[in-house]
Amino acid sequence: MENKEILAKLEQIVSKEPSKWHEESQYRIENKQWLKRSQAVALKILRTLREQGSNQKELALKIGVSAQQVNKWVKGTENFTFETIAKLEHALQVNLMSITGFENLSKSSNKIIQNVPYYPQTAPKVSEYAAVVNAGNLKVVYNKYDNKAA
Amino acid sequence: MEIVNIFAIVKNSLLAVQFDGKESDEFSMLFNNWQDVEYLEQFFEDNKQDLQSGFYGNITIEEAVFQTIEEAESMERYIKKVANRGNSDPNNTLHDLVFTPLHKNDNTINHQESKAYGQNNHSWLRMYAIRISTNLYVVSGGAIKLTGKIQDRTHTTDELLKLKVTAAYLKEIGLIKKEDYGFIEISSHGK
């Protein structure tokens, strides 16, 4: 068949609507960075459920969401909130997300906060918090820190 | 199994069919599946023996899922680039994809391309297509091919049927005549 003849035929038979792929692939390319993380979370959920002999339905019941919602999560396209991650971690008893390099971040943050009186350098125990609160300093401490950070 | 529509992926170069009862064309579905974590985890779990048989080396399901997503992304990005260039660009060819005849002794193709797989290409992603002319392909489906031959597994033999249905459709609408076409397997260089 001649090329011209083929092109004329194509004009007739090919849909005038674009393939869904054009839009879908554009979305995947533009959102690649966070999608990677979502995919990793999705896979961890699925592998954990499999290891535990559980399933999406049971997970949905534990968390109090619909099975459809869990199914959406495990596709690897969900932009999870911290709240959802925390609920999933609690229900599955696994760590789904960790922040690496936090120690370094703390050090650089210390430059800002070291002059703030009473700012806890390490996370205080409950009893220590109580002591700070009792001393009436906690509010002042965080207000000052917030102002500096802003 | 009937074809209800046909879409352009790369204008006048790469087309894809849509079968009845399906939400979108085969090309869109492939790239959705190849980046769908749930689909991939289940697929590799179902085909664990083939995955870990050594054909592609010993590999975990987690590695296989991420490897598939990365390969699909890379293939998709390349095709997107070509599709965006538009039809006026003379370099608008899919030369970074590897087109190989499905049947080794296929004599039905008039202008047989002879591209080889890259040496480091271990990609298991395959698209199946009917080749109409030198640079015109109609995608009928695709698969993750973990075994040597398409006939080895049900999920790949299903693809042979889809190819046949697509060929019959293209004949019916007069786009191909007898012996004008060939069955083609498309993969990427794994870039």
Give the model confidence (pLDDT) of B158-191 as tens digits.
888 999 899 889 888 888 776 666 777 787 754 4
The answer to pTM > 0.80 is no
- Higher pLDDT, residue A122 or B43: B43
How many Å is the maximal CA-CA distance in chain A?
A: 90
What local confidence, expressed as pLDDT, does residue B179 receive? 64
What local confidence, expressed as pLDDT, does residue B158 receive? 84
What local confidence, expressed as pLDDT, does residue B173 receive? 86
Q: Is the pLDDT of residue A45 over 80?
A: yes
Count the neighbouring beta carbons within 10 Å of the beta carbon of residue B19. Answer: 19
Which of A117-121, A145-149, B32-36, B147-151 has the highest average model confidence (pLDDT)?
A: B32-36
Distance CA B108, CA B190 (A): 28
Buried b (16+ CB within 10 A) or exposed e, A32-67: eeebeebbbbbbbbbbbbeeeeeebeebbeebeeee
Quote the mean pLDDT of chain B.
80
Distance from CA of B71 to the nearest CA of A (A): 13
Q: Which pLDDT tens digit goes with each residue over B114-146?
A: 344 433 456 889 899 988 887 788 999 999 988
Among partner residues B9, B36, B41, which is closest to A21 by beta-carbon distance? B9
CA torsion angle for B55, B59, B63, B66 (degrees, to 10)? 10
Instruction: For residue B74, give the nearest of B40, B8, B121, B115 by alpha carbon.
Output: B121
What local confidence, expressed as pLDDT, does residue B99 receive? 72
Contact B16, B96 (CB under 8 A): no
Distance CA B32, CA A149 (A): 43
What local confidence, expressed as pLDDT, does residue B151 receive? 65
Question: B100: pLDDT confidence band, cut at 50, 70 and 90?
Answer: confident
The distance in angstroms from the start CA to the end CA of chain A is 70
Do residue A46 and residue B37 have CB atoms under 8 angstroms apart? yes
Contacts of residue A7 in chain B, CB cutoff 8 Å? Answer: 12
Distance from CA of B81 to the nearest CA of A (A): 11
Distance CA B42, CA A9 (A): 41
Strand partners, B128: B141, B185
What local confidence, expressed as pLDDT, does residue A11 receive? 87
Contacts of residue A26 in chain B, CB cutoff 8 Å? Answer: 80
Distance from CA of A12 to the nearest CA of B (A): 10
Kindly identify which residue of chain A lies nearest to residue B18, measuring between CA atoms: A19
